[in-house]
């Protein structure tokens, strides 16, 4: 299965059993678990989504604490 290479943005190959990600363009080779972590740390869009989520959660927590006072 072809997936986007996190290193060179080319076509990487995900093994049919989801264990290994390889890219012939840049000789990338990592487990799928490592791939997911790599993408999460390097994909700016994904980080933005997490940042927004943390921000809204903080707001809700503050509001809840105020109500308890
Ligand atoms: Zn690559």
* pLDDT digit string, tens, across residues 22-65: 999 999 999 999 998 888 877 666 555 556 555 555 555 555 55
DSSP state of 40: H
Token code pair at residue 27: 């000789």
Q: How far does the centroid of ligand 1 lie from the alpha carbon of residue 42, in Å?
A: 14
Q: Residues with Cβ within 5 Å of ion ligand 1?
A: 5, 7-8, 10, 23, 25-26, 28
Model pTM?
0.59
**Long-range pairs of 40-45 with CB within 8 A, sequence gap ≥ 24:** 42/6
11-23: average pLDDT: 95
Contact yes or no for 43/51 (Cβ under 8 A) = no
Q: How far does the centroid of ligand 1 lie from the alpha carbon of residue 50, in Å?
A: 26
8-12: average pLDDT: 93
Boundaries of domain holding 63: 2-68
Tally the domains of the chain: 1
Q: Look at residues 16, 11, 5 and name the one whose alpha carbon lies nearest to residue 39.
A: 5
Cα–Cα dist 24/12, whole Å: 7
Looking at residue 65, its pLDDT comes to 57
């Amino acid at each position: 299965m072809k997936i986007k290479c996190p290193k060179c943005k080319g076509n990487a190959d995900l093994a049919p059993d989801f264990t290994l990600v390889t890219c012939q363009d840049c000789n990338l080779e990592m487990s799928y678990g490592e791939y997911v972590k790599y993408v999460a740390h390097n994909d700016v869009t994904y980080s933005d989504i997490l940042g927004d989520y943390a921000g809204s959660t903080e707001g809700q927590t503050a509001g809840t604490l105020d109500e308890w006072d």
